[in-house]
A and B are shown apart, each in its own frame.
Chain A
Amino acid sequence: MRRGRGWHASLIDGALWAFRASILVMVVWGTIATLRAGRYSGAQWLDFVEFGLAQGGIYALIALGYTMVYGVLNMINFAHGDVFMAGAYTAYYVAAPLGTSGFLARHLLSGLLLVLTVSVATSTAIAVALERVAYRPLRRAPRLVPLITAIGASFFLEYSFRSLYGAGVQSYPDIPVLSGSMSIAGITVLRTQALVLASALAMMLLLYWIVMRTRTGKAMRAVAEDRDAAALMGIDVDYIIVFTFALGGAMAGAAGILYALTYKQVHFFMGFVPGIKAFTAAVLGGIGNVPGAMLGGLFLGLVESVGPALFLDGLGVPAPYQLRDVIGFTMLLVMLIFRPQGILGERLARKRA
C-alpha cells in the first residue's frame, strides 16, 4: 500500500473508505431491520445455515484446487470450474442408467462410489491434460499470459462438452434413500445435505493429511515456497505440479457429484458460477492456504445462504434471492480490493504487494 502521495491518493483513499463504510452500513442496517421485523422463524434460520454449510462444503472442495495451483504456480486456473463440470456431467452417463435400473436405490454405497469414481477420474484426467497442454509451456511467461490461456481453456472445455453431450439440462436420478430429512442430536437436517457436508469434510481431512503428512505433500509445500530451491533439493518439480493438478481435479470431481446430488441437474455451463465462487472462497481464506480455502468455502456458503434473508430483506429489496450471486461477487470484490491476502493468510502478501 502506498499512501500520502498527493491529493489524488487521498481522494481515492476517501472513496474506498466510503465504499467500505456503505457496505458495512447496509449490512448492519438490513440485519437490524430484518431481525426487528422477525419474519423468519428459528427453524428457517437453521435451514439457511444447513444449506449454506452444505453449499460451502462444495465451494471449499473446488477452492482447494484453485488454492493449491496458485500455491505452486502463482496462477489462477480459470478453467478449474469447468474441470468440476466435466466430472459431474460425465458421471451423469453412469448415474442415469444406474438410477433407472434401480441399482442406486438397492446398492446405494457401491452405486455412489461408482459414480464418484467416474467423476473423479474424468476431472483428474482433464486437469492433468490441461496442465500438460496449456500451462506447462507457459510457466515462465508473464503473469497475464497463463490467465488468458486459462480463460481460453475454460471456454474450450465448456463448449466442447456442449457439443459432445448437448446443450440441454440433464437431470440426475432421484435417490429415494437420500430424500427427506433425518434428525441428528435433535436437529433436523435434509439427508442429502448431511451426506454432502459429511463427505466434503471427510475429503478435506484426507487432503489436509496428504498435504501435511505425506512426503509428496511436503514436496508440494516446498515447491510452493520456492520452486527453484525445491528443484535444487532434488524434488521433481514437474511431477509435483502434475500431482497438484491431479489432486485439485480429484477434489473438483468429488465436488461435482456432491453438487449433482444437491441440485439434481447438470449442464455444460454449471461450472462457471461455482468456479468464481470457489475462487472467492480461496481468496477469502488467503490464496495458497489449504485450511484457509476450506474455511473460506464454508464461510462464503453460509453468507450467501443466510445473507439475502438476513440483510437484503431488511433493506426492502424485492425478491432478495435473485441477488444471492451479487453477495458472493461483492465479497470477492471487497476481498480483492481491501484484503487480497485473505482473512487468515499473510504468507503470500509479500509476493502480491
Chain B
Amino acid sequence: MRASGPNALRTGLIFGAAAVYLCLVGMVETFSRRWMIADTLSLGHVVLLAVGVGAGYVATSGPGGRRQRLGPLAGLAAGAVVGAALGSLLLAGAVVDLRVMFINASPRLYHILAFGAPLPDGVGLLLVLGAMAGAAGWGLAAVSPRVRRGFLSGLAAVLVIGVFQDLLQLLLQGPPLVTTIRDVLFSVDGPSASGAAAACGLTWVVIAARSRYGMLRRTGPSLSPSGQRGLQFLRWGLVLALLLVLPIAGGPFVAQVMVLVGLYLLMGLGLNLEVGFAGLLDLGFVAFFAIGAYTVALLTSRGEHGIAHWSFWAAVPAAMAVSLVAGVLFGIPVLRVRGDYLAIATLGLGEIVRLLVLSDALRPWLGGSFGVLLIPKPHIDGWELSGPRELYYLTLVVSGLIAYVASRLQDSPLGRAWMAIREDEDVAEAIGISLVTTKLLAYGLGGAMGGAGGAIFAVLVGSVFPQSFSLLISINVLVLIILGGMGSLWGVVVGALVLVGLPELLREFGDYRFLVYGIVLVAMMLFRPEGLLPAAAQRRELHAADVTPAGDPAAAVAVSGAGPGEA
C-alpha cells in the first residue's frame, strides 16, 4: 500500500493545477458575479472551495485511506497544496503581467483570489483556507455514506437555488404563501444565509426520510396494477400540465429557451435513430437540419430567393420529405464505410454541404453567405404564430409527435433490425436483415426528424444563413445524446434540457458551453459510457458484460468490431 504522504501531494498538485486552470480560463471571475449566499459567498469561491474539498476527499478516500491514522493530515496537506498552487498564481501575477498571455489574469481575479487582502496575507489566507477545505474533504470521506449523501444533497439544493435564483424569484410570485417562501429563501442581493441553511436541512431530512421509506417499500406490498396505471396517468398529466404552463409562468424568455430545447430535441431524436439505434455515428447530421431549414425558407420566403410562396404548413411536410430523400442519398455513398471511418466520412459530407451552400457557385439559388431572408411566420386561420410562446406550443406538438414515432419505431421490427446492425453487422446480415434498406431507412428517417427541426428553426429566426449550420451543431446534438444515453428516448429529453436549456438560462455557463461539452464527452466515455438514462437493453447488456472476464483479449476483440452500444 502506498504511503499517504506522496499520494496526498500528487492529488493536491493535480487539483491545484485544475484550480489554476479554472482561474485562468476565467470561470472563477465570471462565476464570482453570482452570489450563492448574499454578500458572503460567490459561486466563484464555491467552485474553488469545491476543488480544495475534492482534493482532500480524493487524497483520503482511496483504498484503506479512511482508516489511515494520518487521514486528516493527508487531507490537510492535499488542500494546502491546492491553496499553494493558487497562491503561486497570485505571486506570479504580482511579479509579471500574466495578462499578456492569459487574458483572464485580471486584477479582479487576483482580488477575488486574495479575498481583497494585500498580497502576503492573501497567500497565507489561501493556504489556510485550502488546508481547511482539504480537512473538510477528509471529513466527507470519513463519515458514513448515508450522512455523506444527505449532506451533499443538501448542498446541491443550495447550489440549485443559488444558480437558478433569477428564475426561482420569477416563478415564486403570486399568493402570499408563495411570496413568503421567496422572502425566506432570498434577500435583496441573492439567497439569504438562513434560507440556504433551511433548504440544506430540509433536503437532508427529505433524503433521509426517503431512503428509510424506500427500504419499507421494498419489503412491503406493492401497488396493484390498476393503482400503478393510475399513478402513471397522474405522472404524465403533471408533466403535460407543467409543459403547458411553463411559458406562461416563465415569460417569453423561458419560452424562447424551450423552443431551442425543442429544436435540439428533434435533432437529438433523429440522430438517436442513427447513432443510438443503428450504431451509425454521423458527424454530418447538421446537413439535414440545414436542408430542412433551407427547404422551408425557399418554399415560403417572400424575399428574392423564394420560389413558391407556400404556407408553412405545406412546407413542413415538404421539408421533411426532402430531408428524408437527402438522408437516403447521403447514406448511399457511405453505406459500406464502417465504424470510425464512417464518422469521418459523414463529417466530410456535412462540411461539403456547408461549403457548397456558402460558396458563390450556388449563390443565385441559395443566397450564398447572405442567406435567405423574409420567411413569414406560420398562420392558423389568420392567427399568426409570431412570438416565442406560440412557437413553443408548435415545437411542443411537433416534438411530441416525433417522440411518439421514435418510441414506436424502437419496438418495431425495423427498430429491432437497427439494433441488430448496431450489435454486429455481419451477424445481422447473416440472419437475413437487408443492410442496405435498414441503414438507408435509418439515415432517411433520422434525416426527416432533423429536417423538421430545421423547418421550425427557419420560422423561428425568420431567415437562414449557412453560418448557422456549422459542425458545432452536429457535435452539440451528439453530446446531448451521449449524456442522456445512446438509444434512450428519455435520455435525449434530459440531454436536451441539460445541455441546451441550462446554458441558455445561465449566461455564465453560456461562455463555457463548448468547453463543458468537451469535458462531458470525455467524462461520459471514461466513467459512464451508457449515459445518464440508459435504454433498458443497454442496461441489461451491461449486466451481462459484467459476467464476462474483463481482461480476456478474445472477448475484447469480439466486441471491438461493433458499435458503441455495448460500451
A-side interface residues toward B, CB under 8 Å? 1, 6, 8-9, 11-12, 15-16, 19, 75-76, 93, 133-134, 137-138, 140-149, 151-160, 162-166, 228, 272, 276, 279, 317-319, 322-323, 325-326, 329-330, 332-333, 336-337, 340, 352
Contact = CB atoms under 8 A, between A and B. Distances in A.
B508 interface: no
B100 interface: yes
A12 B104 contact: no
Contact of B355 (A137, A151, A323): A323
Interface residues of B, number: 71
B352 A340 contact: no
Interface stretch (B56-64, B171-179, B327-335, B487-495): B327-335
B101 A330 contact: no
Interface stretch (B152-160, B225-233, B304-312, B336-344): B336-344
B567 A145 contact: yes
A159 to B, nearest CB: 4
Contacts of A142: 559-560, 562-564, 566-567
A155 B479 CA distance: 11
Given A318-B361, A333-B349, A141 B333 contact: no
A163 B512 contact: yes
Contact of A156 (B341, B345, B482, B519): B519
Interface string B464-479: 0000000100010011
A318 B360 contact: yes
A336 B337 contact: yes
Given A140-B556, A152-B525, A159-B518, A337 B358 contact: no
Nearest to A320: B361
A332 B358 CA distance: 20
B518 A153 contact: yes
Given A148-B482, A153-B522, A337-B337, 16 more contacts: A9-B436, A140-B550, A143-B561, A146-B525, A152-B520, A155-B515, A155-B521, A156-B515, A159-B514, A160-B515, A163-B25, A228-B553, A326-B359, A332-B344, A333-B333, A337-B336
Contacts of B347: 276
A8 B434 CA distance: 8
18 contacts: A12-B335, A12-B336, A16-B332, A143-B560, A155-B515, A155-B521, A156-B519, A157-B518, A163-B27, A228-B553, A276-B344, A276-B351, A279-B344, A318-B363, A336-B337, A340-B337, A340-B341, A352-B341
A75 B340 contact: yes
A202 B436 CA distance: 47
Contact of A330 (B332, B352, B526, B562): B352
A157 B514 CA distance: 10
A65 to B, nearest CB: 15
A155 B515 CA distance: 6
B553 A333 contact: no
B194 interface: no
The A interface is mostly helix, strand or loop, or mixed, namely helix
B352 A326 contact: yes
Contacts of B562: 142-143
Nearest to A82: B518
Contacts of A228: 553
Nearest to B553: A228
B335 A325 contact: no
B437 interface: yes
B16 interface: no
- 8 smallest beta-carbon distances between A and B, as pairs: A152-B521, A156-B518, A155-B518, A163-B25, A159-B515, A8-B436, A152-B522, A144-B564
Contacts of B333: 15-16, 19, 333, 337
A141 B527 CA distance: 12
A350 to B, nearest CB: 13
B24 interface: yes
Nearest to A152: B521
Contact of A147 (B340, B356, B553): B340
A318 B360 CA distance: 6
B399 to A, nearest CB: 25
A7 to B, nearest CB: 10
B529 interface: yes
A138 B525 CA distance: 8
A46 B24 CA distance: 47
A267 to B, nearest CB: 13
A165 B103 contact: yes
Contact of B345 (A159, A317, A337): A337
